[in-house]
């Protein structure tokens, strides 16, 4: 290949990577260099080979495949067009902050810097859906300004007081310990060289580790007040320990773990509200649990995860399909804790079908409507998981 042509190609690959980056794919400079090397190694013979060569170097997650595919077909049809578009739109694009999960919309924004039309044209729907089942997704971005000052202060106070749980489970990894169960042959051997006569045995013991925590939080209309406070708690939790996965659900399931991981609480919540579009809508517990079981369970429930299910159990579909899904979820977790704000009523009785389906399959059932209950939850998390486990297996 001739020199100048190659330079042009490299430049185009750089541009292409920039488009991907703007669409939310982490394609760093190192990968761009690699992509150029790879294209040189593979040679430019077929379009398909070129596609898979770039794919091999720029895509690092299965989820990004779709995005790459769309971007590739748009970009490499006529890179110049996009080039011009981009240079025109550049300042505007730079100012934008991409967090949306919708791939095609995200890509469109990355390529053309268009604003989200939906958000501006949508009429302001204001229905009081609390304590009722709403039949429609209320597709709007939840405004956190609505949270009252008292509420916010309460939440902050609660979070400040929370000592994060220390439940630990034994791993198969070991560390040096004076009174350990295992003999550390390597250390013993070294010690034997240091002294003559009796060889002192050095010991090791099993290391302990916190199990991963998976949170499934209901954000439907009847839950919204609590979900907001609870988000603060989840934010603190996500940033204080590793291996926490947070999912929000109303009528659909959204993974917000990445959004919550930003350090500043306001920014984190801002990102979450952008990522979720079924705030204050209805609840479909069966359906969303099914999605979790199929799409996520095997990826996040490994290594003895503890699951927190935060919902009031009021289901738009009257508990349809909840039973088999919660059974399956329960079978896959070490410990399933259900947090229910309805428990604030002293005379709460499990009458709703959704609640009745859920109840037999949880290891613990707790209220979560005020600071006391959050504190109690923390105690629950630091409780004795071993006992719960045996109880569950016997049942």
Partner 1 sequence: MTLPSSIDETVDLLARGSYVADRSLSTVVFLALKMGRPLLLEGEAGVGKTEIAKVLAQALGRRLIRLQCYEGLDTAAAVYEWNYQAQMIEIRLAEAEGVETRDELGKDIFSERFLIRRPLLQALEPSVEGPPVLLIDELDRTDEPFEAYLLEVLSDFQVTVPEIGTIHADNPPIVIVTSNRTREIHDALKRRCLYHWVDYPNAERELDILRLKAPQAPEELSQQVVAFVQQLRQMDLYKSPGVAETLDWANALTHLNALSLDANNVNDTLGTLLKYQDDIARVQGSEAARILEEIRMAASAAQ
* Residues contributing to the site for partner 1 (CB under 8 A): 26, 28, 30-31, 34, 37-38, 41-43, 45, 48-49, 52-53, 55-57, 59-62, 65, 171-174, 185-186, 188-189, 192-193, 242, 293-294, 298-300, 302-303, 324, 328
Cβ-based nearer residue to partner 1, 58 or 93: 58
Cβ-based nearer residue to partner 1, 170 or 344: 170
Cβ-based nearer residue to partner 1, 255 or 352: 255
Cβ-based nearer residue to partner 1, 34 or 116: 34
Q: How far is the CB of 47 from partner 1 (least distance, A)?
A: 11
Q: How far is the CB of 239 from partner 1 (least distance, A)?
A: 17
Q: Which of 337, 335, 344 is nearest to 368 (CA)?
A: 344
CA distance 230 to 227: 5
Cβ-based nearer residue to partner 1, 27 or 223: 27
Is the separation of the CB atoms in 256 and 272 below 8 Å? yes
CA distance 135 to 257: 27
CA distance 38 to 332: 42
Cβ-based nearer residue to partner 1, 77 or 299: 299
Work out the burial of residue 105: count CB atoms within 10 Å of its CB; fewer than 13 is exposed, 13-18 middle, 19 or more buried: middle
Q: How far is the CB of 153 from partner 1 (least distance, A)?
A: 36
Cβ-based nearer residue to partner 1, 132 or 188: 188
Cβ-based nearer residue to partner 1, 84 or 173: 173
């Amino acid at each position: 290949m001739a020199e100048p042509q190659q330079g042009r190609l490299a430049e185009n690959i750089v541009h292409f990577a920039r488009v991907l980056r703007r669409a939310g794919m982490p394609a760093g400079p190192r990968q761009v260099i690699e992509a150029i090397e790879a294209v040189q190694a593979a040679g430019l013979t077929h379009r398909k080979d070129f596609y898979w060569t770039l794919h091999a170097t720029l895509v690092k997650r299965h989820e990004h495949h779709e995005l790459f595919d769309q971007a590739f077909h748009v970009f490499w049809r006529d890179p110049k067009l996009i080039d011009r578009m981009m240079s025109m739109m550049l300042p505007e694009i730079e100012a934008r902050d991409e967090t949306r999960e919708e791939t095609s919309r995200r890509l469109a924004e990355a390529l053309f810097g268009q604003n989200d039309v939906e958000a501006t044209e949508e009429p302001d729907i204001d229905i009081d859906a609390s304590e009722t089942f709403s039949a429609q997704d209320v597709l709007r971005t939840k405004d956190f300004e609505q949270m009252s000052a008292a509420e916010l202060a309460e939440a902050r106070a609660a979070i400040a007081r929370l000592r994060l749980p220390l439940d630990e489970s034994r791993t198969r990894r070991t560390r040096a310990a004076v009174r350990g169960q295992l003999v550390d042959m390597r250390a013993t051997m070294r010690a034997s060289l240091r002294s003559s006569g009796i060889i002192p045995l050095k010991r090791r013991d099993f290391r302990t580790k916190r199990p991963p925590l998976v949170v499934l939080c209901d954000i439907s209309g009847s839950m919204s007040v609590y979900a907001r406070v609870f988000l603060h708690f989840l934010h603190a939790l996500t940033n204080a320990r590793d291996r926490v996965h947070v999912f929000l659900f109303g009528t659909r399931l959204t993974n917000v773990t990445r959004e919550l991981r930003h350090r500043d609480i306001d920014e984190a919540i801002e990102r979450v509200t952008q990522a979720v579009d079924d705030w204050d809508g209805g609840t479909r517990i069966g359906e969303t649990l099914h999605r979790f079981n199929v799409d996520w369970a095997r990826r996040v429930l490994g290594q003895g995860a503890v699951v927190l299910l935060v919902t009031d159990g009021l289901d738009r579909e009257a508990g349809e399909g909840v039973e088999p899904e919660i059974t399956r979820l329960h079978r896959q977790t070490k410990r399933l804790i259900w947090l229910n704000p309805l428990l604030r009523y002293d005379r709460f009785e499990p009458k709703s079908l959704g609640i009745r389906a859920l109840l037999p399959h949880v290891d613990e059932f707790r209220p979560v409507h005020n600071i006391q209950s959050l504190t109690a939850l923390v105690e629950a998390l630091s409780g004795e998981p071993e006992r719960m486990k045996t109880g569950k297996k016997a049942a």
